[in-house]
Amino acid sequence: MEIEISQRRKVKAGLMRSMRIALAAGALVATVACVPMYRNHGYVPTDEMVSALTVGRDTRASVIAAIGEPAAQSVQNAAAFYYVQSRFETYGAFAPREIDRQVLAVTFDNAGVVRNITRYGLADGNVVTLSRRVTDDLGDDATFVRQLLGNFGRVNAASMLGEE
């Protein structure tokens, strides 16, 4: 009888120990999930690299050689190079939030010479709302068979032969 009680105590102590370990592991996982994670996207040249550029002297080719390829270019005649860098913060299962954005815009004149160098931040950005409108078709919702059968009686043989 004493052996059974002793074994029960050992089993109970083992279960309690396992529960404590599981609780500590759960608390550790919950704590780690609350730590923010940061992600960086893109590339913006440093101030030292940009200071090497000279407005009115450097060209598109010399800008690329000095500070690298741009993330984007303007559509018309490559009139501007854009270097974009963003920093995102994520807490646990929540959606990422952009906490910093830097944009370096290098604009060129028609000859391809640097005209202006400008830096923008997250506060300078504008929110663009996208329209969810759908263009309506002008026809009715008739099926192909309905349109085919709907033409019976409307077609005149004389008009088909060009006699009218």
Pair (46, 88) in one structural domain? yes
Greater confidence, 126 or 25? Answer: 25
Pair (60, 121) in one structural domain? yes
Could you tell me the two tokens for 77? 């005649």
Residue at 151 is within a domain: no
Pair (92, 21) in one structural domain? no
Pair (77, 119) in one structural domain? yes
Residue at 122 is within a domain: yes
Pair (11, 72) in one structural domain? no
Q: Quick one: pLDDT at residue 107?
A: 92
Provide the pLDDT confidence category of residue 127 given band limits of 50, 70 and 90. low
Greater confidence, 127 or 106? Answer: 106
Could you tell me the two tokens for 3? 């052996």
Pair (26, 75) in one structural domain? no
For residue 160, is pLDDT > 70?
no
- Is 102 in contact with 46 (CB distance < 8 Å)? no
Pair (49, 103) in one structural domain? yes
Pair (27, 60) in one structural domain? no
Residue at 90 is within a domain: yes
Residue at 67 is within a domain: yes
Q: What percent of the chain lies above the pLDDT cut of 70?
A: 79
Pair (15, 85) in one structural domain? no
Residue at 161 is within a domain: no
Pair (47, 115) in one structural domain? yes
Provide the pLDDT confidence category of residue 136 given band limits of 50, 70 and 90. low
Residue of 103, 111, 108 whose CA lies nearest to 63: 108
For residue 1, is pLDDT > 60?
no
Pair (71, 86) in one structural domain? yes
For residue 144, is pLDDT > 90?
no
Could you tell me the two tokens for 23? 């609780």
CA gap 11, 147 in Å, rounded: 80
Greater confidence, 14 or 23? Answer: 23
Average pLDDT, the chain: 83
Q: Which tens digits make up the pLDDT trace of 73-111?
A: 877 767 899 999 999 999 877 899 999 999 999 999 989
Domain count, the chain: 2
- CB count within 10 Å of CB 73 equals 16
- Is 118 in contact with 105 (CB distance < 8 Å)? yes
Over 27-71, what HEC string results? Answer: HHHHHHHCCCEEEEEECCCCHHHHHCCCCCCCEHHHHHHHHCCCC
Q: Quick one: pLDDT at residue 164?
A: 59
Pair (69, 1) in one structural domain? no
DSSP 8-class letter at 122? G
Q: What angle do CA 144, 149, 154 make, to 5 degrees?
A: 120
Range of the domain at 53: 36-129
Residue at 117 is within a domain: yes
Residue at 162 is within a domain: no
